[in-house]
Structure 1
Amino acid sequence: MTSLPPGECCIRGIKHEGTPTGSIEKIENITTYFARPARPNGNAIFIFGDVFGPIYQNVQLIADNFAAQGYLTVVPDLLNGDAMGVEAFLGGKVDLPAWLARHDPTTIDPIAETVIDYLKNTLKVKSIAGVGYCFGAKYVVRHLKENRLDVAYIAHPSFVTSEELSAITKPLSIAAAEDDAIFTQENRFESEKILAGLILPYQINLYGGVGHGFALRGDLSIKEVKFATDRAFEQAVTWFDYWV
């Protein structure tokens, strides 16, 4: 396995300041946050969010930032209204194995495929870039292949298997944290070995002084975290601008 299963660090984090400017809409019956660019470049970004789902301010603000770069950005509810709450988890009210069993490839893959089909065939976007944070990274990797996603970026991934990573056929960029019990140094090295063997464009950037979740839920009042968060976002945009 190239990244370990989600743990407590996956639900810790800081709520970022700002006011989302997008809208909540439906793709068929899937609740989705839409961030529309003022100057669209014809491409879309599909954000596979973490365990908090799309109705979470941090991911909505990131979607708005991607839209400001010209990308139509969508954050669908891959969890079908069953997002995890921090207080419930820390209070021992969440059965993590049962929650994960409700949200596995048999439930999430069909939702992802519906969204991809909508972007390609209804909105007629030129290319679709996938973005995955923590839990969502697994599903970006699973769909990074022909006739699905065209390029991808993931940050501090969890639950990605070596078989899933070995099956990708499109360019992948990874933002990794130095202090990460889920995407460990050993996992990074394993991922690098797999990606090098695929002979595909890939990138793994390591950010020092930060931990798991920094790119989405980091404490931006800490200089090292703010730097890493900003640079990781720029990493994604630069990757997409070049490879879409």
Structure 2
Amino acid sequence: MASNPPGKCCTTGFKHEGTPTGKVVKVAGKWDAYVASPPADKAHKDVAILYIPDIFGIWQNSQLLADQFASDGYYTMVIDILNGDPLTLDQFGTVDLPKYIEQGSTGDNPHNPPAIDPIVKAAIKALKEEHGVKKIGSVGYCFGAKYLARQFHKGAGIDVGFFAHPSFVSEDELAAICGPLSIAAAETDSIFPVDMRYKSEEILKKTALPYQINLFSGVTHGFAVRCDLSDRVQKFAKEQAYCQAVAWFNQYLL
């Protein structure tokens, strides 16, 4: 593994304040997606960001982040990889994560590669065919990073990637990426610990592709999406991780 499977830290965090300004649409007539459009005078032509979320899916924090990417000129789509079955913050400590991933909350709605890969592929297809997008940058937060990696190979449609505190990414998936990848990591993270960061660096060196790994002190797994914004250290790290992603896309996607 280049990062460990999701753990309890994947189900903790804080809901952020704000009013999302995007809208919910259907992808392939089946799956929900939240889309945020940039102002016409700032829009980057022919590119978009595919946001692959953590196990909280489409919720307040992911919507606000999508709106922020849109404010920086990127048409952004948050795809519901959980098929209407996200976890909520109040489920911390009550969910059997391995069981949830294999069966979902209802027992018949799995959240594993056979179930999620087609959803991500449909989102890529929709961006290209329905929105005329020629190049796709993708962000994968925690659980979503694995599914970014799985569609970040030649011919799959993702051109540039950004992970924040990735989980469940295999070494083979990371080695197979086909474009520039930036990673934001937390100092304290049992899912993406020091040895796996170093292993990921070794793998990325061998790809001979542009890569970046930024380490943020004073924060834990999940900080880039659901940190405590009343804590100055956490707030700064979250904001800088976002800036890292935008700078990466500005450099390699435009």
TM-score, L = length of structure 1: 0.96
Q: Secondary structure at the match of 2:148?
A: helix
In the other structure, the counterpart of 1:26 is 26
> What is the letter of the counterpart of residue 56 of structure 2?
F
Q: Secondary structure at the match of 2:228?
A: coil
Q: Secondary structure at the match of 1:236?
A: helix
Mapped contact 2:48–2:133 kept (Cα < 8 A): yes
Instruction: Give me the CA root mean square deviation.
Output: 1.0
In the other structure, the counterpart of 2:73 is 70
In the other structure, the counterpart of 1:144 is 152
Alignment of 1:19-168 (within 5 A): 19-28=19-28, 29-39=30-40, 40-42=43-45, 43-54=47-58, 56-90=59-93, 92=94, 94-101=95-102, 102-147=110-155, 148-168=157-177
> What is the letter of the counterpart of residue 192 of structure 2?
F
Does 1:169 find its partner at 2:173? no
Cα deviation 1:179-198 (Å, max 9, x = unaligned) = 11110000100000000011
Cα deviation 1:10-41 (Å, max 9, x = unaligned) = 01001111111101111121111010111321
Match 1:198 to one of 207, 217, 222: 207
> What is the letter of the counterpart of residue 19 of structure 1?
T
4+ aligned runs moved over 3 Å, structure 1: none
Cα deviation 1:32-83 (Å, max 9, x = unaligned) = 10101113212110000000111x1001000000000111100111111111
> What is the letter of the counterpart of residue 242 of structure 1?
Q
Q: Secondary structure at the match of 1:3?
A: coil
Q: Partners of 2:187 and 2:170 in 1: how far apart?
A: 20
Deviation at 1:89, TM superposition (A): 4.2
> What is the letter of the counterpart of residue 47 of structure 1?
Y
> What is the letter of the counterpart of residue 154 of structure 2?
E
> What is the letter of the counterpart of residue 199 of structure 1?
A
Q: Secondary structure at the match of 1:168?
A: coil
> What is the letter of the counterpart of residue 17 of structure 1?
E
Mapped contact 2:162–2:245 kept (Cα < 8 A): yes
In the other structure, the counterpart of 1:2 is 2
**Between 36-45 and 181-190, the greater mean CA deviation after superposition:** 36-45
In the other structure, the counterpart of 1:214 is 223
State percent identity of aligned pairs.
51
Structure 2 gap segments, 5+ residues each: 103-109
Q: Partners of 2:89 and 2:229 in 1: how far apart?
A: 19
